[in-house]
Amino acid sequence: MQENPLWRSPDLQAQRLSRLSLVAALYVVLTYLANILGPGLNLGYGPIQIRISEGLTMLALFDPLMPLALYAGCLMANVIGGLGLPDIIFGPLLTVAAGYATWLTRRIPALPFVPPILFNALGVAGYLYFLLGINFGFAPVSGTGPFALILNLAASHPYWAMVFSIGIGQTISVVFFGLIFMKIWKRSGGIPEGGLGNRV
C-alpha cells in the first residue's frame, strides 16, 4: 500500500483521527437507535438484528485504520447492551475481522460486502444461541427450490435459524445503510491513503 503523502500532515492526521473517533461514537449511537426504532424487538442485540451501525463497516473500504474505530464502537455498544462477556469479547472481534476483510477485498467488485454479513451471521449467531438460551426458529416451508431448501435448513435448528435471521439483518444494514454511509464519507472528503476514493 502506497501512502498518500498528504496524510502525513499533522493537521490532516488530526482530522483523520477525529473522523475515526466520530465513526466509533456513531456506531454506539446507531446501535442504540436500532433498539428505539424496534421497541420490544431488541434489534441491536437480539436474535433478530438490524444494526444500522453495521453499515459503517463499509467505511473500511477507505481507510485501513477504520476497523479499529469499528472495534472501539462495537465494544462500547456491547458493554452498554448488557448481554455479558461473550458479546463484549466476540462481537467486537468479529466486527474488526470483518472490517479488515472488507479492506483487503476492496479492489474486488461486490466482495467487500460479504465479510460483514458472513462473519456476523455465523459468529454472532454462534454465541447468541448459547448466551440467550432460546428456542428460536420458524415453521418449515413447502417446495423443493433452492430458497425453500435454505429456509428448511434454517428452520431445522435454532442455530441455523439465528444465522439466517442475523444474515438477513446484516444484509440490510451492510448493503442499504452501508451504501448511504459510503456516499456521505466520500462527499465529506474522508479518504486517506490506499482508499478507493471515487472508484467505489
Convert the pLDDT of each residue in 103-152 to its tens digit. Answer: 999 999 999 999 999 999 999 988 887 777 655 555 555 666 665 665 66
CB contact at 8 A, 164 and 148? no
Which residues, 6 or more positions from 169, have their beta carbon under 8 angstroms from its beta carbon?
43, 48, 49, 50, 51
The pTM assigned to this predicted structure is 0.80
* Res. 55 pLDDT band, cuts 50 70 90: very high
Say which residue, 40 or 138, is predicted with more confidence: 40
**Distance in angstroms (rounded) separating the CA atoms of residues 199 and 67:** 20
pLDDT at 96: 97
Q: Which of 59, 189, 61 is nearest to 73 (CA)?
A: 59
DSSP 53: G
Q: Which CATH architecture has domain 9-191?
A: Orthogonal Bundle (1.10)
Rounded to the nearest integer, the mean pLDDT of the chain is: 83
pLDDT at residue 169 greater than cutoff 60: yes
* Res. 72 pLDDT band, cuts 50 70 90: very high
* Res. 161 pLDDT band, cuts 50 70 90: confident
pLDDT at residue 197 greater than cutoff 60: no
Q: Which of 153, 119, 99, 124 is nearest to 48 (CA)?
A: 124
For the chain, helix, strand, coil in percent to 5 are: 70, 0, 30
**Distance in angstroms (rounded) separating the CA atoms of residues 165 and 147:** 14
Say which residue, 147 or 94, is predicted with more confidence: 94
